Structure 1
């Protein structure tokens, strides 16, 4: 845990899809952990981090639902941590981590990822060992680091939906319950003196790369839909494959967008993943890091997987460094393979973000 003189280093990653990479002989999560703590075999340097946020999609289930075998594999790969504890990683549920509408609510994610430490025998998460204690539920929880307030929103199969993933495996299109939105809005409203960081699996519509309508899938000259960043499930609103679409069972609700439009600057950062691509992608005229609604930075940090959605997937993650007394946040991009550029820090993707207030312990 930092002191008042220390920088705070936040490692942001997501979309490990361990079940997808495993048949290719690749431990997507364990390898990235090893790179951060000891460096990579292709020359990538190690780097220091205090805590990590995982933006979801630990599972690789596509046309099926996540199962216990993949849950045990996730826990096995988390055991690669040597210089950090399992409790140093704070996670939200992604669309591939969801359970079906006919199953117990988010049973897989609660059992094996377990942010509240309610299933320690399976997940290995000890709530009492968290460096920064969490408060809330599996679906929505918060924690503080100095004057940073993290609002962690999980994606889910919302029971009131009539269209969406259901039992379709990893059908994209983000989902948040009405209760989670109200909790988020209330937390933002009552913590305006904090630097608020929202963590969700999805960005909002028209913010970062390929997050616009019909930008997640490809439409051919024949009028048919084809896989691109995401797979086009006709039953599941393919036009919205790349962004948070459902709130409280309402399609294209715009609830978060309206709130941020009416309260510009209330949220400093929104960290997400879901759309895997190289750091220079500008599809739809948008990059991986964009500012919207005044002062909110949106950032895509995905993915750790190399084989899930292989047309665009490239293993990357981000390191955010906050300095006490400074409004600036340094954002670095780490390439976990050398398939795009040398393994390690990718200089062209580095950014300096300027917040409306300074970080402090």
Structure 2
């Protein structure tokens, strides 16, 4: 690599929760609009911005009391096709809870078919694995890729077989889930790569990290004492107490498996990027903002691109992370995709520079 190339920054666009089907019903193209704004600017004055790769933290689907279907998959493929200055393969995705398939269906068939990070269903998804600038290693549920000394560990949300009742035959149960195999893979990757700057990606943050990620913080009680929708909808038998964080690991509820590991190995994971809980950039419910540090790990909530899914709190926004070679500082900017909360474009009040324990290098 030339000296000039080695000195250029890496710009990572983090977004999620496009809920394409929901916004489409209201005449809005949540994913396509955001892509076009990033490449060419927005119709309300928001500037374009350069990015090298993008991280999609899941919930492409807007399925709520139903399951994702091929019609929505085709719409997502169509909206991805507005990319002009980037490749489809510049976007790396994980499966969110609304992207899940039902218990009676092949697991995550819809997400694997239409989002398809491994490029195994190119005819439907348009993803060509050989076109990845940074190749993937793994399987749909868990995979990794490297950029310089950054190691990305990508973990998808999935069905929890012990839970038989939830949303849409468990197509989108609120509490976050990973399998025991994925957790073991994650631990092994973390322990076997001590020199890497490790960035974990999942649809959910961990418990008590970012805004509204505490127990019972995803839903709230009304004046008459009844639980009601807030950030998430209330499903009595759908682990509503853990609706805002990664709740199930290896079939165990509220397992704290990741939290305990990070507590025992502080700073080994430098960053955790997620979404799921949609809200405005100034929200600090539960005493937690969108960007917080615990166990030496920076947690970043990048949600959401949708405007109409979970409408009580939803606001279209995303994050741009800039890694500068030779520096441990990472600039995290917030981009507002509409002018609902503030003028479309960069929102300086939400900008933050986070410090890693070692510098980025190509």
Tell me by how many angstroms 1:5 deviates: 1.6
Matched position secondary structure for 1:72? helix
Partner of 1:238: 240
Partner of 1:274: 276
Tell me by how many angstroms 1:163 deviates: 5.8
1:118 to 2:109 alignment: no
Matched position secondary structure for 2:39? helix
Query: Following the alignment from structure 2 to structure 1, what is the Cα–Cα distance between the partners of residues 233 and 165?
Result: 16
Query: Following the alignment from structure 2 to structure 1, what is the Cα–Cα distance between the partners of residues 124 and 184?
Result: 31
Partner of 2:214: 212
- 1:312-341 per-residue CA deviation (whole Å, 9 max, x = no partner) reads 000000000000000000000000000000
Partner of 1:105: 107
| Preserved CA contact (<8 Å) 2:64 2:168 | no
Query: Following the alignment from structure 1 to structure 2, what is the Cα–Cα distance between the partners of residues 115 and 3?
Result: 27
TM-score, length of structure 2 as denominator length = 0.98
Tell me by how many angstroms 1:218 deviates: 1.1
After superposing the two structures, state which structure 1 stretch, 155-164 or 82-91, moved more. Answer: 155-164
Aligned structure 1 segments of 4 or more residues deviating by more than 2 angstroms: 158-166, 168-171
Query: Following the alignment from structure 1 to structure 2, what is the Cα–Cα distance between the partners of residues 148 and 161?
Result: 36
Tell me by how many angstroms 1:161 deviates: 4.2
| Preserved CA contact (<8 Å) 1:157 1:166 | no
Tell me by how many angstroms 1:220 deviates: 1.6
Partner of 1:34: 36
Query: Following the alignment from structure 2 to structure 1, what is the Cα–Cα distance between the partners of residues 125 and 252?
Result: 33
Segments of 5+ residues of structure 1 without an aligned counterpart are none
Matched position secondary structure for 2:253? coil
Q: Which of 124, 128, 142 is the matching residue for 1:140?
A: 142
Partner of 1:353: 354
Q: Which of 181, 185, 188 is the matching residue for 2:187?
A: 185
1:261-300 equivalences in 2 (<5 Å): 261-293=263-295, 295-300=296-301
TM-score, length of structure 1 as denominator length = 0.98
- 1:68-116 per-residue CA deviation (whole Å, 9 max, x = no partner) reads 0000000000001000010000000000000011100110000000010
Tell me by how many angstroms 1:159 deviates: 2.8
After superposing the two structures, state which structure 1 stretch, 167-176 or 149-158, moved more. Answer: 167-176
The RMSD of aligned alpha carbons is 1.2
Tell me by how many angstroms 1:160 deviates: 4.3
1:1-361 equivalences in 2 (<5 Å): 3-161=5-163, 164-165=166-167, 167-293=169-295, 295-361=296-362
| Preserved CA contact (<8 Å) 1:101 1:166 | no
Matched position secondary structure for 2:241? helix
| Preserved CA contact (<8 Å) 1:64 1:168 | no
| Preserved CA contact (<8 Å) 1:333 1:349 | yes
| Preserved CA contact (<8 Å) 2:6 2:325 | yes
Query: Following the alignment from structure 2 to structure 1, what is the Cα–Cα distance between the partners of residues 113 and 5?
Result: 33
Query: Following the alignment from structure 2 to structure 1, what is the Cα–Cα distance between the partners of residues 142 and 60?
Result: 18
Query: Following the alignment from structure 1 to structure 2, what is the Cα–Cα distance between the partners of residues 163 and 59?
Result: 20
Segments of 5+ residues of structure 2 without an aligned counterpart are none
With over 3 angstroms needed to count, the CA separation of the structure-2 counterparts of 1:61 and 1:40, relative to structure 1, is same
Query: Following the alignment from structure 2 to structure 1, what is the Cα–Cα distance between the partners of residues 139 and 276?
Result: 22
Tell me by how many angstroms 1:165 deviates: 4.9
Tell me by how many angstroms 1:171 deviates: 2.7
Query: Following the alignment from structure 1 to structure 2, what is the Cα–Cα distance between the partners of residues 313 and 170?
Result: 18
Matched position secondary structure for 1:234? coil
